[in-house]
């Protein structure tokens, strides 16, 4: 549990620092036999900052509870 708690702490801090990421998707607009027209779109995938804080706090609790045994 201690190792999992450390992983959660690192993940939580990373989620606070990096608030999301961009993903590029390609969408087919027109298909006329041999001619295709595609459109590239950037999509933002993000999460709230407090989610990283909650994950980091859970990790700290797991590390501290693993130390007592």
| Domain parsing of the chain, residue ranges | 2-67
Q: What is the pLDDT of residue 68?
A: 64
User: What's the whole-number mean pLDDT along residues 38-67?
Assistant: 91
**3-state SS assignment for residue 13:** helix
Helix (H, G, I), strand (E, B) or coil at 12: helix
- A 10 A CB-CB count for 33 gives 5
Look at residue 66 in the predicted model and tell me its pLDDT. Answer: 79
pLDDT (tens digit, 9 = 90+) per residue, 5-46? 999 999 999 999 999 999 999 988 888 888 888 999 999 999
Rounded to whole angstroms, how far apart are CA atoms 58 and 13?
12
Q: What is the pLDDT of residue 50?
A: 92
Cα radius of gyration (the chain): 21
Q: What is the pTM of this model?
A: 0.69
pLDDT for 69 equals: 53
């Amino acid at each position: 549990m201690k190792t999992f708690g450390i992983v959660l702490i690192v993940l939580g801090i990373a989620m606070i620092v990096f608030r999301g990421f961009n993903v590029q998707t390609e969408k087919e607009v027109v298909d006329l036999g041999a001619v295709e027209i595609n459109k590239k779109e950037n999509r933002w995938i993000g999460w709230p900052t407090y989610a990283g804080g909650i994950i980091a706090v859970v990790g700290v609790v797991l590390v501290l509870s693993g130390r007592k045994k």
